[in-house]
Amino acid sequence: MTIAAFTRRTVTALLLASTSLVSSVALAQETKWLDVEKDELKFGFIKLTDMAPLAVAYEKGFFEDEGLFVTLEAQANWKVLLDGVITGQLDGAHMLAGQPLAATIGYGTEAHIVTPFSMDLNGNGITVSNEVWEAMKPNIPTDADGKPQHPISAAAMKPVVEQYKAAGKPFNMGMVFPVSTHNYELRYWLAAGGIHPGFYAPDDISGQILAEAYLSVTPPPQMPATLEAGTIYGYCVGEPWNQQAVFRGIGVPVITDYEIWKNNPEKVFGMTKEFVDENPNTTLAIVKALIKAAKWLDENDNANRMEAVEILSQPQYVGADAEVIANSMTGTFEYEKGDKRDVPDFNVFFRYYATYPYYSDATWYLSQMRRWGQIAEPKSNSWFEDVAKSVYRPDIYEEAARLLVEEGFLTEDEVPFGTDGYKAPQTEFIDGVTFDGRDPNGYLEKFPIGLKGDQKVEGSAVVGG
């Protein structure tokens, strides 16, 4: 046991011992402590605002309420974070939704990672340089106030990309990781506007085969500086790094992921299957604490968000100015400097069943891996379903949520108990294409850009029908 953990536990024990018998009984009725197999835990995260459930669970005592003594540790990048979970240096982590899926199917580092908890909805944006923005603006309709009409299609950027190509300049853009939400959202937006974002292949993992816009990995905190240096002309990232570009006057966010796919799933909490199997009660306790934190973040119409902003602005968490973090965390989003608009659902942590790990969410990510060649060979719909069910664990989530209902922290209607794990077909995408998680192959057939059916990439060409 670490000294810090010993001290916290001792203080907790003394406080409990000093309370009256009546208070102790009341506490016991509120929270039913599980017989956890492991009570000292280390979780990893990347410095983004959507790690908030972890910070809140720690700072508000929700982990300790469940008998857990947690250390939170920022990680250098997503690969280091994933490797830490796989090797056991971390017991779990704030992850890109695609990471557990990619690891489980062996794309990149292979390991069976599971997620019993989805951390949030929305929260990303696409930012372009001032130069690109000025070139795009003539192609964007304006509203009655003369402001750009949203959502802005990538079609407005297509002539700019063509101009760069004619001048012999590759149009470079940044995203945070090959299996990140950001990669798929940026690709979705580009392709919906007629700009090809490129394919992956087993012998070429650059993701730039046949590309018109060239996407590559840039760590989130480095994106504004990389944009300012002219190495990239735009990027897709979570907050606060879009708003940071606005505050520094170096770029303009042109679209949020809420406008690309309304209420899209973002990050997840991931652990190895081995950890979950060996520590079932610990896993339930973790999920309980995270659900409490997520509800706290959204309750009373986001009344707690400014307190959350102050927590996140601390250097051990996100470490950005509170003003920058508040720009998106409190229900607004600033596009062009001075063009701040209400986006109450830019960050959602609990509403709309945000924390429930739906199989259909997993299937969407897998469909995008197939669309862009990370899954090189055609797969049956049943394959997609089997992978989704091996990684996303609503059974664990529902068991934890049921305990919280019994304890009075949740009501029945706050959890979609008994669902089959699939959302109804979703229609609110920027291109109007409907996604049905039960038919990923039918979904892929609808796109003019992207692999479908028996197609695969060979060399620099798409073959098959």
Q: Note the pLDDT of residue 149.
A: 96
Has this prediction a pTM greater than 0.75? yes
Q: Note the pLDDT of residue 388.
A: 98
pLDDT per position as a tens digit, 336-370: 999 999 999 999 999 999 999 999 999 999 999 99
Quote the mean pLDDT of the chain: 93
Q: Note the pLDDT of residue 220.
A: 87
Query: What average pLDDT score do residues 31-58 get?
Result: 94
Q: What is each CA distance from 432 to 188, 262, 426, in whole angstroms? A: 12, 11, 10
pLDDT per position as a tens digit, 221-239: 899 999 999 999 999 999 9
Q: Note the pLDDT of residue 32.
A: 72
Confidence of residue 374 (pLDDT cuts 50, 70, 90): very high
Q: Which residue is associated with the tokens 């600033």?
A: 334
Confidence of residue 30 (pLDDT cuts 50, 70, 90): low
pLDDT per position as a tens digit, 305-323: 999 999 999 999 999 999 9
pLDDT per position as a tens digit, 64-99: 999 999 999 999 999 999 999 999 999 999 999 999
Q: Note the pLDDT of residue 442.
A: 98
Query: What average pLDDT score do residues 121-132 get?
Result: 97
Instruction: Give the fold, CATH level 3, of 31-122+265-357+393-414.
Output: D-Maltodextrin-Binding Protein; domain 2 (3.40.190)
Query: Which residue spans of the chain are classified as CATH 3.40.190.10?
Result: 31-122+265-357+393-414, 124-262
Start-to-end Cα distance in the chain: 59
SS3 letters for the chain? Answer: CCHHHHHHHHHHHHHHHHCCHHHHHHHHHHCCCCCCCCCEEEEEECCCHHHHHHHHHHHCCHHHHCCCEEEEEECCCHHHHHHHHHHCCCCEEEEECHHHHHHHHCCCCCCCEEEEEECCECCEEEEEEHHHHHHHHHHCCECCCCCECCCCCHHHCHHHHHHHHHCCCCEEEEECCCCCHHHHHHHHHHHHCCCCCCEEECCEEEEEECCCEEEEECCHHHHHHHHHHCCCCEEEEECCHHHHHHHHCCEEEEEEHHHHECCCECEEEEEEHHHHHHCHHHHHHHHHHHHHHHHHHHHHHHCCHHHHHHHHCCCCCCCCCHHHHHHHHCCEEECCCCCEEECCCCCECCHHHCCCCCHHHHHHHHHHHHHCCCCCCCCCHHHHHHHHHHHECHHHHHHHHHHHHHCCCCCHHHCCCCCCCCCCCECCECCCCCECCCCHHHHHCCCCCCCCCCCEEECCEEECC
Strand order in the sheet with 251-256: 213-217, 171-175, 234-238, 124-129, 251-256
Query: What average pLDDT score do residues 448-463 get?
Result: 96
Confidence of residue 465 (pLDDT cuts 50, 70, 90): confident
pLDDT at 12 over 70: no
pLDDT at 205 over 90: yes
Q: Note the pLDDT of residue 31.
A: 66
Of the chain, the percentage scoring pLDDT greater than 90 comes to 89
pLDDT per position as a tens digit, 416-428: 999 999 999 999 9
Q: Note the pLDDT of residue 20.
A: 33
Where is pLDDT greater, at 189 or 30?
Answer: 189
Q: Note the pLDDT of residue 29.
A: 41
pLDDT at 9 over 90: no
In whole angstroms, give the CA distance from residue 186 to residue 427: 18
Structure token pair of residue 76: 């250098």
CATH class of the domain defined by 124-262: alpha beta
Query: What average pLDDT score do residues 168-186 get?
Result: 97
